[in-house]
Amino acid sequence: MTHCKRPSPPAGGVTARRLISIDDLSDVEIAYILNLAEHYAGFLKRSKPAPHCLAGRTQINLFFEDSTRTNLSFDLAGRKLGADVVNVPVSASSVHKGESLIDTAQTLAAMGADVMIVRARQEGLHQRLDQLLDCVVINGGAGAFEHPTQALLDAATIRSKFETLDGLTIAICGDVKHSRVAGSDARLFVRLGATVRFVGPAALMPDDNQLTDIERCTNLKDGLAGADIVMGLRMQFERMGSGGKEAAQGYFETFGLTHETLKHASPGAFVMHPGPMNRGVEIDGALADDPARALILQQVFYGVATRMAVLDALLTIGK
Ligand code: ASP
Ligand code: CP
């Protein structure tokens, strides 16, 4: 599925001025961004330079939590579109002299940011920044709450294999409770017509009042039955507190994703993982490295193309 031709924007343009939750985008904006991601994937596959639609614009990447994929793919995406990109070296910044996260972000915005990509663990920080800053705020990961560009790149990756998510069954397995990916993915996949199921031990399921429309299954065999996509999640020990390591005890034996356990899913099912992976904890290395079954590096590839699409759509279309 390669859109060589640039897709036409929605009739009313892209009206979203922020991307904090996947629900900040309308259905037509999501469809447009996914088509635009495929368009940019065509440039990346052919190592062809993309038009510099962000020339003269300033993009600031402000990551208060660790990141490899999201930070660096936003960096690449902005540069490929011609933006001036600044990666804030948070660990060497004035945050360590006691400057608050909000003062830091306002200081950076005053340097002329057109867009700021922010990763932080605090609930509500992104919304507060959106109110205070005169630039587009994009969520690069918010605590255990949302990771909307991960959801978009995951959908783009699935579409590259299945054309559409409509009618697919997608099992999201593991530490759903502490995952911001699971919530954003589930919301988006359901909107795109997929059936989504959370699979994992009861202790790692979301609270009863959250994501109530998603089926939960605490048995791997039943949870994977009929799945076209099996999405593994990392044990997010950093959000588990002191009892964290106990959650991992015996986890691989019961819920680990392997070639053997993948037999419970549809024949030809693919395995995905947002990364970083812990091999031998939630996924077997041999499965993760199997190019016939694993789409994990394709997710990374679509990370760049999708973030190019998000930056283009939010900064240039209809503005
Ligand atoms: N990298 C993803 C995130 O930041 C998933 C993970 O860390 O496990 O949410
Ligand atoms: N998937 C993801 O967000 O990876 P990073 O934490 O490395 O950015």
Ligand nearest to the CA of 117: 2
Give residue-wise pLDDT tens across range 140-197: 999 999 999 999 999 999 999 999 999 999 999 999 999 999 999 999 999 999 999 9
Q: Whose CA is nearest to atom 1 of ligand 1?
A: 275
The two domains 18-147+303-316 and 148-299 share their CATH topology (first three levels equal): yes
Q: Where are the domains positioned within the chain?
A: 18-147+303-316, 148-299
- Ligand 2 pocket test, candidate residues 64, 69, 296, most atoms within 8 A of CB: 69
pLDDT at 258: 98
Give the pTM: 0.97
72 C-alpha to center of ligand 2: Å?
9
CATH superfamily for 18-147+303-316 is: Aspartate/ornithine carbamoyltransferase (3.40.50.1370)
Residue 297 has which token pair? 């590096």
Domain 148-299 has CATH 3.40.50.1370: yes
Q: How many helices (H) and strands (E) would you count in the chain?
A: 11, 10
Helix, coil or strand: residue 184: helix
Tens digit of each residue's pLDDT (9 = 90 or more) over 52-77: 999 999 999 999 999 999 999 999 99
Give per-residue pLDDT as tens, 195-234.
999 999 999 999 999 999 999 999 999 999 999 999 999 9
Residues 207, 145 contacting (CB under 8 angstroms): no
Say yes or no: CB of residue 69 within 6 Å of ligand 2.
yes
270 SS3 class: strand
Do residues 22 and 284 make contact, with C-beta atoms less than 8 angstroms apart?
no
Protein residue with least CA distance to atom 3, ligand 2: 70
